[in-house]
Structure 1
Amino acid sequence: MSDKRRALPAVDTLLSHPAVVQHGAGHRLKRRALRELLTAERQRLVDETSAVPDLDSLAYAGVVHIEWLSRSRAPSVFNLTGTVIHTNLGRSTLAESAVMALTRAACEPLALEYDIESGRRGDRDHMVEALLCELTGAEAATVVNNNAAAVVLALSAMGAGREAIISRGELIEIGGAFRMPDIMHASGCILREVGTTNRTHAWDFESALGEATGLIVKAHTSNYAVEGFTSTVEERELARIAHHHGVPFMVDLGSGALTDMAALGLPDEAQPYESIEAGADVVTFSGDKLLGGPQCGLIVGSREQIERIKRHPLKRALRVDKLILSALEATLLLYRDSDDIAADIPTLRLLTRSEAEIAACAERLAPALAGALPADFELSQRPCRSQLGSGALPVDRLPGQALVVTPTGERRRRERRLRELEQALRQLPRPVVGRLHDGALWLDLRCLVGAADETAFIQQLGALQLAQATP
Structure 2
Amino acid sequence: MPKTTDAAADLRRATPRTDAVLADPRLVAAVARLGRRLVKDAVTTAQQRCRAGELAPEEVADAAVAALPEAATTLRRVVNATGVVVHTNLGRAPLSAAALEALTLAAGPTDVELDLATGRRGPRGSGALAALAAAVPDAGGVHVVNNGAAALALVTLGLAAGRNVVLARGEMVEIGDGFRIPELLESVGATLREVGTTNRVRLEDYAAAVDDDTAFVLKVHPSNFLVSGFTSSVPVGELSRLPVPVVADIGSGLLAPHPRLPDEPDATTTLRAGAALVTASGDKLLGGPQAGLLLGRADLVQALRRHPFARALRVDKLTLAALEATLTGPTPPVRAALEAEPAELLGRARALAARLADDAVAAGAEESRAAVGGGGAPGVELPSAAVTLPVRFATMLRRGTPAVVGRVEHDRLLLDLRTVPPEQDEELVAAVRAAAAALGG
Shift of 1:254: 0.5
User: Which deviations, in whole Å up to 9, do the C-alpha atoms of 1:176-204 show, x marking residues without a partner?
Assistant: 22211111121211111110111100111
Distance (whole Å) between structure 1 residues aligned to residue 318 and residue 239 of structure 2: 37
Structure 2: which amino acid aligns with 1:253? I
Distance (whole Å) between structure 1 residues aligned to residue 327 and residue 55 of structure 2: 58
1:402 aligned residue (386, 400, 404)? 386
CA contact (8 A) 1:125 1:142 kept: no
CA contact (8 A) 2:224 2:378 kept: yes
Distance (whole Å) between structure 2 residues aligned to residue 92 and residue 130 of structure 1: 22
Structure 1: which amino acid aligns with 2:255? L
Distance (whole Å) between structure 1 residues aligned to residue 272 and residue 433 of structure 2: 56
Structure 1 window deviating more from structure 2 (20-29 vs 158-167): it is 20-29
1:25 aligned residue (25, 30, 33)? 30
Distance (whole Å) between structure 2 residues aligned to residue 370 and residue 468 of structure 1: 15
User: Which deviations, in whole Å up to 9, do the C-alpha atoms of 1:84-115 show, x marking residues without a partner?
Assistant: 111111222223333333322223421x2334
1:278-293 equivalences in 2 (<5 Å): 278-293=273-288
User: Which deviations, in whole Å up to 9, do the C-alpha atoms of 1:41-97 show, x marking residues without a partner?
Assistant: 55xx4xxxxx453223333222222x1385642222110111011111122222333
User: Which deviations, in whole Å up to 9, do the C-alpha atoms of 1:221-270 show, x marking residues without a partner?
Assistant: 111111121111120221211xx2xx3221101112123311xx454532
Equivalent in the alignment of 2:315? 320
Structure 2: which amino acid aligns with 1:113? E
TM-score using structure 1 length: 0.84
Equivalent in the alignment of 2:366? 382
1:205-284 equivalences in 2 (<5 Å): 205-241=206-242, 244=243, 247-262=244-259, 265-284=260-279
- 1:91 partner SS: coil
CA contact (8 A) 2:277 2:294 kept: yes
CA contact (8 A) 1:261 1:268 kept: no
Equivalent in the alignment of 1:412? none
In the alignment, structure 2 segments of 5+ residues that lack a partner are none
Distance (whole Å) between structure 1 residues aligned to residue 59 and residue 202 of structure 2: 74
1:463 aligned residue (428, 434, 437)? 434
User: Which deviations, in whole Å up to 9, do the C-alpha atoms of 1:323-368 show, x marking residues without a partner?
Assistant: 211221222224xxxxxxxx72221111111111111211222144
CA contact (8 A) 1:404 1:441 kept: yes
1:353 aligned residue (337, 340, 343)? 340
Structure 1: which amino acid aligns with 2:210? L
Structure 2: which amino acid aligns with 1:36? T
Shift of 1:14: 6.5
Shift of 1:432: 0.7
Structure 1 window deviating more from structure 2 (198-207 vs 456-465): it is 456-465
Structure 1 13/351 Cα, relative in aligned 2: closer, same or farther at 3 Å?
same
1:5 aligned residue (4, 8, 13)? 8
What is the aligned-residue RMSD (CA, Å)?
2.7
Equivalent in the alignment of 1:425? 397
User: Which deviations, in whole Å up to 9, do the C-alpha atoms of 1:349-390 show, x marking residues without a partner?
Assistant: 11111111111211222144446677xxx5432211101110
- 1:25 partner SS: helix
Equivalent in the alignment of 1:411? none
Distance (whole Å) between structure 1 residues aligned to residue 54 and residue 84 of structure 2: 48
Equivalent in the alignment of 1:415? none
Structure 1 83/158 Cα, relative in aligned 2: closer, same or farther at 3 Å?
same
1:55-454 equivalences in 2 (<5 Å): 55-65=57-67, 67-68=68-69, 70=71, 72-110=73-111, 112-115=112-115, 120-136=120-136, 137-241=138-242, 244=243, 247-262=244-259, 265-334=260-329, 344-370=331-357, 378-406=362-390, 418=391, 420-450=392-422, 452-454=423-425
Distance (whole Å) between structure 1 residues aligned to residue 102 and residue 39 of structure 2: 34
Distance (whole Å) between structure 2 residues aligned to residue 277 and residue 323 of structure 1: 31
Structure 2: which amino acid aligns with 1:212? D
Structure 1 window deviating more from structure 2 (307-316 vs 138-147): it is 307-316
- 1:60 partner SS: helix
Shift of 1:434: 0.8
Structure 2: which amino acid aligns with 1:300? L
CA contact (8 A) 1:33 1:69 kept: no
In the alignment, structure 1 segments of 5+ residues that lack a partner are 46-50, 335-342, 407-417
Structure 2: which amino acid aligns with 1:363? R
CA contact (8 A) 2:165 2:190 kept: yes
Structure 1 34/132 Cα, relative in aligned 2: closer, same or farther at 3 Å?
closer
Distance (whole Å) between structure 2 residues aligned to residue 301 and residue 386 of structure 1: 33
Distance (whole Å) between structure 2 residues aligned to residue 254 and residue 120 of structure 1: 37
